[in-house]
Amino acid sequence: QDTKLNIGVSVKSIFGLPLVVARDKGFFKEEGLDVTLEYFSGGPPATAALMGGSLQFLNGALENNVKTAKANQPIVTIMNIQSNYAGAIILRKEIADKLGRAPKVEDLKGLKIGTLSRGGFTDVSTRYILKTAGIDPEKDATLVPIRGADRQLAAGKAGEIDAAMVTEPWGPIAVEGLGEWVYVLNTTVGQGPVLFQDMGYVVLQTTRDYLAKNRPVAEKVVRAIVKAQKFIADPKNVEEVTQIALKEYGDSQPKAMRISVETQAKTYVPYMNEAMIGKTMDLLVPNGLIKEPAPAYKDVVDASFEPLWKAYGPVK
Partner 1 sequence: MMDQDSARQVTILKVVLLVVIVGGWELSARFGLIPVFWTSSPSLIAVAFWESLKENEITYHTYITMQEALAGLAAGAVVGVMLGLVLGVSRVLGAALEPFVIAMNSLPRVALAPLIVMFVGIGFASKFLLAFSLVVVPIMLNTYEGIKAADPQLINMMRVIHAKRYQVFYKVLLPNCVPWIFSALRVSISFAIIGAIVGEFISARAGIGYMIDSAAGAFDTTGMIMPLIVLMVLAFSIDRAFVATSNRLLRWRDEALS
Q: CA-based Rg of the chain, rounded to a whole angstrom?
A: 19
Residue 163 near residue 155, CB atoms below 8 Å: no
Residues 6 or more apart from 97 whose CB is under 8 A from it? none
Q: How far is the CB of 50 from partner 1 (least distance, A)?
A: 9
> What is the helix (H) or strand (E) element at residue 231, kind and residue range?
helix 215-233
The dihedral formed by the CA atoms of 121, 15, 154 and 177, expressed in degrees to the nearest 10: 130
Closest CA to 127 of 107, 112, 116, 143: 143
Q: How far is the CB of 109 from partner 1 (least distance, A)?
A: 19
- Pick 38 or 299: Cβ nearer partner 1: 38
- Pick 290 or 303: Cβ nearer partner 1: 290
Q: How far is the CB of 221 from partner 1 (least distance, A)?
A: 19
Q: How far is the CB of 238 from partner 1 (least distance, A)?
A: 21
3-state SS of 242-284 is: HHHHHHHHCCCCHHHHHHHHHHHHHHCCCCCCCHHHHHHHHHH
- Pick 104 or 147: Cβ nearer partner 1: 147
- Pick 74 or 278: Cβ nearer partner 1: 74
- Pick 42 or 278: Cβ nearer partner 1: 42
Q: How far is the CB of 185 from partner 1 (least distance, A)?
A: 22
The dihedral formed by the CA atoms of 100, 122, 277 and 220, expressed in degrees to the nearest 10: -110
- Pick 109 or 151: Cβ nearer partner 1: 151
Return residues touching partner 1 (CB under 8 A).
Answer: 6, 8, 12, 36, 38-49, 51-55, 64, 67-68, 71, 73, 117-120, 142-148, 150-151, 153-155, 157-161, 173, 249-253, 289-290
Q: How far is the CB of 147 from partner 1 (least distance, A)?
A: 5
Residue 56 near residue 206, CB atoms below 8 Å: yes
